[in-house]
Amino acid sequence: MQNEMVAMLLAGGKGTRLFALTKKVAKPAVYYGGKYRIIDFPLSNAAHSGITRVGVLTQYESVALNNYIGNGSHWGIDGNNSVAGILPPRQTDEGASWYQGTADAIYQNLDFLDNQNPEYVLILSGDHIYKMNYAKMLAYHKEHKADLTVAVLNVSLEEASRFGIMNVNDDYSIYEFEEKPKNPKSTLASMGIYIFTYKTLRDALVKDAKNPDSEHDFGKNIIPDLLAKKKRLFAYTFEGYWKDVGTIASLWEANMDLLDPSDPLRLYKDDDFRILSEDARDLPQFIGKNASVKKSIVNQGAIVLGDVSSSVIFKGAIIEEGATVKDSVIMPGAHVSSGAYINHCIVADNVFIDGSRRENEDGKEVILISK
C-alpha cells in the first residue's frame, strides 16, 4: 500500500451551516466526541489502512487545521517512508486562485501526485464521521480492474434526493450517476470517497481544467465524463456507521450516537482500529461527590460537579454544582455555572453560561450557544 496509493484529503470546507463553530476554524477541525476533531476519522482510517502518504488540501481558515495536523505524527504518517503534506492553494506562474471545486483542488496539486508517482489515488472528504478500511476498497478496485471505484452507502428512498445516486448493474458496475435526483432510481448514495487509477484521474483532471463551462467537481463533471467515455466505474458498498456532520442538528446527533449502548462506532472496544488524535495525554477528570453523571462521555480534564445526563463533555469543561446539563454537547473550556439549565444544546468552546440561564427547556430543536 505504501508504494501504490496516495490519499488526498479534501479539508478546505467552510461549513457555513455550523455557524459560529466554523467562524474561525475549517469544518474538519470542529470538535467531536469529547476527544476528537472531525478530521481525526479519515486520517485514522488512512493510517489503519496502511496508507502513509497523505496530502491534506486546506483552504478556509487553514492555520488552526495546519497546526493541528503538523507533521502527521499523531496518525503515524511522519516516518522515513511517509508523507503528510499540507496543500493550500498556491500562487503559480498562472496566478493565484482559491480551489474552484473538488476536482480543481486535486488538479492544482498534480505536481504533488506526480512526485509521489502512485498507481492509485484515494480521494477523501475531511468532514464525515466513520471507520473504514480503505485497503479492502482498493482490493475491490483491483479485482474489478476499475478506472474509478465509488464508495456508496444504502440510504432510505426519502433521503436519496440529498445525495449523488449511483445506478448500477447486477455486478455493481455504474451505468448512471444522478446528482441529487428528484425521483431517484436507487438508494446507493455516494459517500464522496473515490479510488482512481492515477492515469485515468490525471487525464480527466487535465481535460476538465481546460473546460470553461465545467464546475470542476467530481460528482457534477468528472464522473459523468468518465461514464460518457465508457470507463470502468464500480460501486463499493459500505456497511457501517457513517455521518455527514454538516449541520448543527447532525453534529449533535452524531455526538448523541456515541451514547448508544451498542456503540456503533466502537470507539471504546475496537483497539485494532482506534481513532487517533492530538489529544493523547491522560489528563485527569474530576467528578464531584454530589455530581450525577448518567449515560455520558466525560473527557480528560473536565470538572463535573453538577447533574449531567446523555451528554458529551470535552476536556477543560466545567459543570458547577447546581447546574444541569441534559442531551447536550459541551465543548472544550466551556463553563456552565450553578443554577444554569442546558438541554438539547451544543455549547461552543470557551463559552461562559451564566447561572440564571435556562436554555431550551422544551428541547424541541438543537440550539447552538456561542460567543
Query: Could you write out the DSSP letters of every residue in 250-317?
Result: HHHHHHHHTTSTT-TT-TTT-GGGPPP-S-------EE-TT-EEES-EE-TT-EE-SEEES-EE-TT-
pLDDT band, very low/low/confident/very high, at 278 (cuts 50, 70, 90): confident
**Assigned CATH topology for domain 5-250:** Spore Coat Polysaccharide Biosynthesis Protein SpsA; Chain A (3.90.550)
Residue 171's Cβ-count burial label (10 Å; 0-12, 13-18, 19+) is exposed
227 and 177 in contact (C-beta within 8 Å)? Answer: yes
Residue 95: left if φ>0, alpha if ψ -120 to 50, beta else—which one? left
pLDDT score of 96: 55
Quote the pTM value.
Answer: 0.92
* Residue 194 to residues 84, 190, 191, Cα–Cα distance (Å): 19, 9, 8
Query: Of the given ranges (59-63, 205-209, 335-339), which has the lowest mean pLDDT?
Result: 59-63
188-225 burial code (b ≥16 CB/10 A, e <16):
bbbbbbbbbbbebbbebbeebbeeeebebbbbbbbbbb
| Res 282: pLDDT | 56
Locate 160 and state its grid cell. Answer: 436519496
**Residue 69 CA, distance from chain mean position:** 14
Residue ranges matching CATH 3.90.550.10 in the chain: 5-250
* Reported confidence tier of residue 76, pLDDT bands at 50, 70, 90: confident
**CATH architecture, domain 282-369:** 3 Solenoid (2.160)
Average pLDDT over every residue of 140-146:
98
- Please list the residue range(s) of the chain that carry CATH number 2.160.10.10: 282-369
Q: What pLDDT, in 10s, does the model give residues 27-71?
A: 999 999 998 999 999 999 999 999 999 999 999 888 889 899 988
Please state the rounded mean pLDDT for residues 154-178: 95
What proportion of the chain, given as a percentage, has pLDDT over 70?
A: 95
